[in-house]
Amino acid sequence: MKTGRTIRPLNAAIAAGQTSCAAVVEAALLRAKDPCGEGRWTFRALREDALADARAQDRFRAGGVASSPLAGLPVSIKDNIDLTGDVTAGGSKLLEDAPPARSDAAATTRLRAAGAVIVGRTNMSELAFSGIGYNRFFGTPANPWDRATRRIPGGSSSGAAISVTDGMAVVAIGTDTGGSVRIPAALTGLAGFKPTQARVPRDGVLPLSTLLDCVGPLAWNVADCALVDGILAGDSAPLPRADGALRLCTADDFMLERADETVHTAYAEARRILLHEGAGIAPLPPGAFDEMTAYVRRGSFSGAQAWARFGELIRARPEDIDARIAERISRGATITQADLDANARERARMMERFERAMNSFDALIAPTVPIVAPKIADMENDEHFRQANALILRNPMVANLLDAPSLTIPCHVPGTAPVGLMLVGPRMSDRRLLALGLQLERQLAAR
């Protein structure tokens, strides 16, 4: 956790006159423009008026009228979220000639009202349809854990994660349809939060799946995610207290399958620490997520809706999309209404079973992603890409199908490969889950 780049100490430094909003934003922009850095692959566009916005926020702060602790601090926005006057291209050449957005997305409007300085639009997996973060046309920013061998950042909010890890933003806003906030957060050592869908409006967000899309933050710590979630959701209430022994459940028969040794070790140590701190940890009955196998085999909601939305463009301009992304979206053409109806029935069954089980628990815990970040170069191989993508998406996708709030926090030893611990709570328990995340974050860091 980089405390010097988080919201609370930055506010303290600004209040003490040790820095200013303009200085913080200017430093972020300089990092983004550094020719030796990752900015060229992290951002699709930078906002040249960001520094003027920061100076305006300094004047507001001097007059004692800062609208929130986020006021004047640099925030990045994923390339599938509308900013007035910008093309919302979704990281894809297919949409580069789309008309500019005529208004801000609802999320962008709320961030601006809180005084956030939007520094730019971040790169992403094409059309948000991959958990790898690889982008054939606009480049792939490297994971800060291992720049020497250049490993993937995770996706689809790839640039969002690197904008935070490399100090180009204090907080990033991403979208999460099957893990696209939590995957890059987990693989790069950040916190990331996916809300219950209805809490944060999606107006002005390029859809992937209207059933599953969510908007959420990536940041260095849970406190910053909680602050930004409150802004995005229009919920100014403080987090509830999370006192007492935690009641946690697991689904390791599903979530640990094919996990690598590094993830196994970090997850086992996290469990040991939580047990030592007094948490109760019990497994859910076997098969809690058995429906997932048939769901993937029939084809996803995302695949069907992406084909309906982008299929004609892909047919007309196949040279303007990565063939692996086109292949995945094109599967949507074979998904029948009977498949979608079966998916809906089984989803409802899984949601009901999970909500019933959560009467006895505070949250489910699991590895966010069962493997550490593979090398970008390995993703040039089609089969390696397919296998890694399926495995990386598997665990976080469960929370989207449950429409459950889900948080990832780092659980690795600093200096080693990043591993995320995922928490999943019952629907609409978002603020309670964030409070639990603060508690677990403290317990894991205390080691």
Active site residues: 78, 156, 180
Helix (H, G, I), strand (E, B) or coil at 157: coil
- Strands 363-367 and 420-424, by their bridges, are antiparallel
Q: What is the DSSP string of 73-142?
A: -EEEEETTB--TTS---TT-GGGTTSPPPSS--HHHHHHHHTT-EEEEEEP-SGGG--SS---TTT--PP
**C-alpha pair distances (Å), 7 with each of 116, 121, 253:** 11, 20, 38
HSE, side-chain direction, 13 A CA sphere, residue 194: 36
Handedness of CA 375, 381, 383, 386 (dihedral sign): positive
Instruction: Report how far residue 40's alpha carbon sits from residue 33's, in angstroms, rounded to the nearest whole number.
Output: 7
Report how far residue 5's alpha carbon sits from residue 1's, in angstroms, rounded to the nearest whole number.
9
Task: Extract the tokens encoding 130.
Answer: 């991959």
Token look-up 């591993």 returns 419
Beta strands 191-194 and 43-46, pairing class? unpaired
